[in-house]
Structure 1
Amino acid sequence: MTAMSTNPRHWTVGLVGYGEVGRILAEDLRRQDVRVTAYDLKLGNNLAGGLRDHASQHGVALAASHADLAAQADFIVSAVTASQAVSVAQACAPAVKAGGWFLDFNSASPGAKQRAAALIDGNGGRYVEGAVMTSIPPYRIKVPLLLGGAGAAELAPLLVALGFNAKVASQELGVASAVKMCRSVMIKGLEAMVIESFTTARAYGVEDAVLASLKETYPGIDWEKQGAYFFQRVIEHGRRRSEEVREVAETVREIGLTPWSAEGTAERQAWVADLAGEGLFGPKGSEAFARSPDWRTEADRILTHVKPEHVKPGHGKPKN
């Protein structure tokens, strides 16, 4: 089939990035017998075994390079780390099929999306930006997805036919990403603030009082449950999330505002990711951390690492 096929189930879907997002999309597409090929830079290192096993199990073909994937695919989904969004478009552009679709799934700034679009469209492809509006695992392929760009209205029903929950935000490129980035100032900022606030409260032994006060002010939020969720999301995905927040900061900077909050969020997310990489929360280098459903356990691990001189984890009062 060609890129101009009117039936998306006859497409070959190319996934650039075979991490958590790529594997979820692959599984859901293969359940519909859609042909899927994938490429990931990790296929060339010691993490390749797990990726190859997953691909074999689900009937996903593996490409040898970005160009190899682009030459095969009628529809490309770029799902990599935010910092690689433009470089992936650059690597795929020379080989993209004439009229082939390129969906940029990455959490990148409007400016980055516009640069990526120029590369794909300039080589005969059809670029559409995608803004994923919440965490993917609970929703999988049906995660709320905003589309933007000149081809968004044409691509949207084709994506829906493949099982995506896609709707058009704007024909103007950058609008969908702006919605995503502005939301992330709040969501990822809240994650960083909860880790900083709760860990500090734990050190002073005042966490129960802090939680009670938060519940009184925002009674609609289960702060125990939300705190545990935020800790684990950042522990497991802090590296990727910190890169996304740097793109958030760039989005703020593009309008002339200094992104003090976003920059601080990126630093906190990256710091937690570094601790995870050192094995603080579980086996070093493992994606399956020995996670605790109680955020206090993770806060105590952090406090053991930072070793404040004037307080002890959970012991209440600073020493005089």
Structure 2
Amino acid sequence: MIIAVLGLGEAGHLIATDLAAAGATVRGFDPRVTPPPGVIAASGDADACRGASVVLSVNSAADALDALRAALPACSPGTIWADLNTATPQSKALLGTEGAGAVDVVDVALMSPVPGKGLRTPMTVAGPAAPRFAEILGGLGADVTVLDGPVGTAATRKLLRSVFYKGLAAAVVEALTAARATGLEEWLRGNIAAELTKADAATLDRLVEGSSKHAVRRREEMAAATELLTDLGVTPRIAPAARDLLDELAGNA
């Protein structure tokens, strides 16, 4: 079993290392990073993919299409081209179109941070060749969930989840930055931690229903919060976005 890994940054490095430890022959290429021990260094994308049954593209969404085009001449028919980059469903579908007839493109979404998990990072996968990808990678220790649907289906789920998780992180960072400016960071950290700890399934319903039910009052609250951040010299981004969304909800009430 030869597996090519294109892109040996943090995620690619850890996954490639685990694949080699699991017994696969791993060939890696990254123009900026030396392959980790156990991974055979390749001279380019095409060189890494020559003879590979599976290619893991973990470079970046911006480089994914160029990497595919560069490697296609070296790929055998039936090669699984698994794109692990975070990209739009349309970008994933374009890879499927570009590789049609030459490789079998699989849309792979990494559903949690790779450090600490490596190959066992939960993956959701989609596309006609997804079951075959799951069988191969699962046999090497990967945690793979196959989704029904075309290439792009996994990316859709990943990005919808990202709106919440990255949006939450941005809100926390903005709030703590403002709290630091008032000497209240420790208090707010404790308050946020307590709220996250006691959250349960009902919390989601309260957030959604409360935003609509109390949109007018909350809009004014977030307008005041936006003013506070401005007065503190903290550029408000999340607070005015929340204000504007609540304003829209108030108009639809």
Mapped to 2, the partners of 1:171 and 1:218 lie a distance apart of 34
**Residue identity opposite 2:97 in structure 1:** A
Mapped to 2, the partners of 1:21 and 1:310 lie a distance apart of 38
The answer on whether the counterparts of 2:6 and 2:59 sit within 8 Å (CA) in structure 1 is yes
Provide closer, same or farther for how the CA distance between residues 82 and 197 of structure 1 changes in structure 2, counting only shifts above 3 A: farther
Provide closer, same or farther for how the CA distance between residues 163 and 206 of structure 1 changes in structure 2, counting only shifts above 3 A: same
Aligned to 2:94: 115
Aligned to 2:222: none
Mapped to 1, the partners of 2:83 and 2:4 lie a distance apart of 12
Matched, 1:64 2:43: yes
Residue range with higher mean Cα deviation, 149-158 or 139-148: 149-158
SS at match of 1:170: coil
Aligned to 1:15: 5
Matched, 1:177 2:172: no
Mapped to 1, the partners of 2:170 and 2:22 lie a distance apart of 38
When normalised by structure 2's length, the TM-score is 0.73
| Alpha-carbon distance, 1:95 to partner | 2.4
Mapped to 2, the partners of 1:198 and 1:142 lie a distance apart of 33
| Alpha-carbon distance, 1:309 to partner | 10
The answer on whether the counterparts of 1:128 and 1:148 sit within 8 Å (CA) in structure 2 is yes
Counterpart of 1:27 (choices 17, 29, 39) is: 17
Counterpart of 2:136 (choices 155, 158, 168) is: 158
Provide closer, same or farther for how the CA distance between residues 128 and 310 of structure 1 changes in structure 2, counting only shifts above 3 A: closer
Aligned to 2:113: 135
Render the CA deviation track for 1:86-133: whole Å, top value 9, x for unaligned: 2222222232211111111111110000001112224x2111110110
Report the count of equivalent residues.
Answer: 204
Counterpart of 1:38 (choices 5, 8, 28) is: 28
Provide closer, same or farther for how the CA distance between residues 33 and 217 of structure 1 changes in structure 2, counting only shifts above 3 A: closer
Mapped to 2, the partners of 1:110 and 1:37 lie a distance apart of 28
Aligned to 2:53: 74
Mapped to 1, the partners of 2:138 and 2:82 lie a distance apart of 14
Provide closer, same or farther for how the CA distance between residues 310 and 126 of structure 1 changes in structure 2, counting only shifts above 3 A: closer
Structure 2, unpaired ranges of 5+? 200-229, 234-253
Greater CA radius of gyration, 1 or 2?
A: 2
Mapped to 2, the partners of 1:92 and 1:64 lie a distance apart of 12
Aligned to 2:214: none
The answer on whether the counterparts of 1:15 and 1:76 sit within 8 Å (CA) in structure 2 is yes
**Residue identity opposite 1:70 in structure 2:** C
Render the CA deviation track for 1:141-173: whole Å, top value 9, x for unaligned: 111111100111232122210111111112322
Provide closer, same or farther for how the CA distance between residues 193 and 83 of structure 1 changes in structure 2, counting only shifts above 3 A: farther
The answer on whether the counterparts of 2:105 and 2:151 sit within 8 Å (CA) in structure 1 is no
Percent of aligned pairs with the same residue?
29
| Alpha-carbon distance, 1:201 to partner | 0.9
Provide closer, same or farther for how the CA distance between residues 91 and 193 of structure 1 changes in structure 2, counting only shifts above 3 A: farther
| Alpha-carbon distance, 1:139 to partner | 1.7
| Alpha-carbon distance, 1:216 to partner | 5.1
SS at match of 1:37: strand
| Alpha-carbon distance, 1:196 to partner | 1.8
Aligned-residue Cα RMSD (Å) equals 2.3
SS at match of 2:151: coil
When normalised by structure 1's length, the TM-score is 0.59
